[in-house]
Amino acid sequence: MQTIEYNRDTILLLYTAFLDEGLSLRRDISELSKDLYMPQLGGDPVSSDARDAFTHKLRGAPDSIVKRSLEHADNLIQTAHALKEVAKTYGYTEEHIEASFKSILPGLYKP
């Protein structure tokens, strides 16, 4: 397990970094996964079965690469929310936290 060191001066920056990375990763994975598949490489029956198996592992299986990547993005977002709660213990209000996200990443902020 990795630990994160923070203090009152860095907590909002860490919150913003984790939230931005998680949201960006989630958006990119969702967008890219639409076209993620294994093409059929030959005309034989094995190639067709292999295509289906690889595509399933990429995006259809319960432990697919896409689903595991989305879980990673969700973990980043959950870490951001935990850091947000810590920021509140330092005296930051929702307005401070929201303003920090807007000021650091103005184009990405969506309440």
Tell me the pLDDT tens digit for each residue of 71-92.
999 999 999 999 999 999 999 9
The answer to the question of residue 6 being in a domain is no
Q: What is the pTM of this model?
A: 0.81
User: What was the pLDDT predicted at 107?
Assistant: 56
The answer to the question of residue 53 being in a domain is yes
The answer to the question of residue 110 being in a domain is no
Specify the number of domains making up the chain: 1
Token pair for residue 63? 């432990």
The answer to the question of residue 37 being in a domain is yes
The answer to the question of residue 4 being in a domain is no
Residues 3-25: what's their mean pLDDT? 90
Mean pLDDT of the chain: 88
The answer to the question of residue 99 being in a domain is yes
Q: Could you write out the DSSP letters of every residue in 50-82?
A: HHHHHHIIIIISTT-HHHHHHHHHHHHHHHHHH
The answer to the question of residue 1 being in a domain is no
